[in-house]
Amino acid sequence: MSLDFTAYALSEEHEALRESVRRLADDKIAPHAARVDELSEFPQEAHDALVKADLHAVHIPEDYGGAGADALATAIVIEEVARACASSSLIPAVNKLGTVPLLLAGSPELKERYLPPVARGEAMFSCALSEPEAGSDAAAIRTRAVRDGNTFVLNGTKRWITNAGVSRYYTVIAVTDPRAGPGGISAFVVEKDDPGFSFGALEHKLGIKGSPTRELYFDNCVIPAARPHQVHDRRPGARHRPGSARLCRRLCAGTQAVRQGDRRVPGRPVHAGRHGDEA
Ligand SMILES: Cc1cc2nc3c(=O)[nH]c(=O)nc-3n(C[C@H](O)[C@H](O)[C@H](O)COP(=O)(O)OP(=O)(O)OC[C@H]3O[C@@H](n4cnc5c(N)ncnc54)[C@H](O)[C@@H]3O)c2cc1C
């Protein structure tokens, strides 16, 4: 039996996209890749080239000024940029990671405020889920969001946050109701200059060093009440899709976790005693 057939092929449109991103990456991104890695320097030339070519956040829907690319096209862009410079590929990748919770569960006001600047290349978006004690076990996060009138006050630490300090916007996953377990977790958009929000030092990594990774600190960080801020608003009458916060959390964890297949048990520590629950 001959195996000489194509089981799966990209569409002509996707192939053309791959060709054009490859050309751009070879011309404008690859020449800077070694330097940004060696100096742990944000790949500004790559960022500017991606913005100019409208490839920095291709997943944003056309309604919000984006290219409206499907998941496959978005993956092709990330893959071709990564072929030239892994650090630079985290520009389109993390812009998507940070905005997907809004796309899935954000109110129209939230989307109107935050998606167009990302589509225009004026702002980047990071996603802040992981914490010192919560990586794969995302439900163990401790960052608290406490309601204060029409807004929330955030306290806690996020760790390993990609493009931290460079991004203007952050989707921050925080506990609103500790008694509700994973169901008491929600997501908020925090802006870089919000009071009580600050950044840790640059992590020294072994690779992908042009993409800054830092801790985020929330010290009585008050999100201005006039701004739309909660991705998943649980108040009666608020426009949301039930369960969407959990979806966001899973999405973030699923995208970034170091996977171990069946061996990973959400909510259970890697080894007994990690949380002091066994002698
Ligand atoms: C460069 C970099 C960038 C990152 N960027 C972001 C970001 O932008 N936003 C963000 O929120 N996070 C980010 N992270 C964090 C990343 O999502 C976490 O590192 C990841 O979720 C794993 O968590 P952890 O490092 O705490 O490892 P752990 O969860 O402690 O896992 C360590 C090892 O144990 C295994 N393991 C875990 N639980 C179990 C179990 N129950 N049973 C068996 N094995 C298990 C894991 O598979 C892994 O091999 C980034 C991390 C890195 C290194």
Nearest-atom number in ligand 1 for the CA of 252 is 11
34 DSSP assignment: H
Are residues 51 and 88 located together in one domain of the fold? yes
Instruction: Look up residue 238 and give its amino acid.
Output: A
DSSP helix/strand/coil, 87: helix
> Last residue of a domain, which of 119, 144, 159?
119
What's the CATH code of the domain at 190? 2.40.110.10
One domain for residues 215 and 86? no
Give the residue numbers spanning the domain of 100: 13-119
Query: The domain that contains 52 carries what CATH number?
Result: 1.10.540.10
The verdict on pTM exceeding 0.85 is yes
Answer whether 75 contacts ligand 1 (Cβ < 6 A). no
119, 147, 168: which is the final residue of a domain? 119
**Could you tell me the distance, in angstroms and rounded to a whole number, from the CA of residue 135 to the centre of ligand 1?**
4
Does residue 188 sit in the same domain as residue 61? no
Ligand 1 pocket test target in 270, 271, 274, 277 with most atoms within 8 Å of CB = 270
* Domain assignment of residue 247, yes or no: yes
Q: Whose CA is nearest to atom 12 of ligand 1?
A: 130
User: Residues near 235 by Cβ (< 8 Å), separated by ≥ 6?
Assistant: none
pLDDT of 1:
64
28, 149: one domain? no
29 closest CA partner among 93, 89, 97, 118: 89
Contact 96, 74 (CB under 8 A): yes
Task: Tell whether 132 and 261 lie within a shared domain.
Answer: yes
Residue nearest to atom 2 of ligand 1 (CA): 160
Residues 158 and 151 sit within 8 Å (Cβ to Cβ):
no
| Alpha helices by DSSP H, 43-105 | 44-52, 71-84, 86-105
40 found inside a domain: yes
> Would 1 be classed as within a structural domain?
no
CA of 77 to the centre of ligand 1 (A): 25
Residue showing tokens 């919560």: 134
Q: Whose CA is nearest to atom 23 of ligand 1?
A: 135
In terms of domains, do 136 and 257 share one?
yes
Contact 257 CB / ligand 1 (< 6 Å) = yes
pLDDT at 235: 53
pLDDT tens-digit readout, 209-226: 999 999 999 999 999 888
Whether residues 89 and 138 fall in one domain: no
| Residue 278 belongs to a domain | no
Q: Which of 136, 199, 215 has most ligand 1 atoms within 8 Å of CB, for mutation?
A: 136
What pLDDT is recorded for position 5?
82
- How many domains would you assign to the chain? 2
Ligand 1 geometric centre to CA of 258 (Å): 5
Q: How far apart are CA 239 and CA 16, in angstroms?
A: 39
Co-location of 88 and 129 in the same domain: no
2 in a structural domain:
no
Q: Are residues 69 and 170 in the same domain?
A: no
| pLDDT for the residue 224 | 87
In a domain, 69, yes or no: yes
**3-state secondary structure (DSSP) of residue 153:** strand
CA-to-CA distance for 144 and 147, rounded, in angstroms? 10
Q: From atom 25 of ligand 1, which residue's Cα is the shortest distance away? A: 135
CB atoms within 10 A of CB 149: 7
**Structural domain contains residue 21:** yes
The reply to whether 42 and 95 lie within a common domain is yes
pLDDT of amino acid 160: 97
The finding on whether 204 has its CB within 6 A of some atom of ligand 1 is no
Intervals of the chain under pLDDT 70: 1, 232-279
Q: Is 256 in the pocket of ligand 1 (CB under 6 A)?
A: yes
Choose one of 103, 119, 135: the last residue of a domain: 119
In a shared domain, residues 46 and 155: no
Query: What does residue 262 show for φ and ψ, rounded to 5 degrees?
Result: -70, -20
Kindly state whether residues 55 and 137 are assigned to the same domain.
no
- Ligand 1 centre from 132 Cα, in Å? 10
- CA–centroid distance, residue 63 to ligand 1 (Å): 34
- Asked whether residue 271 is domain-assigned, the answer is no
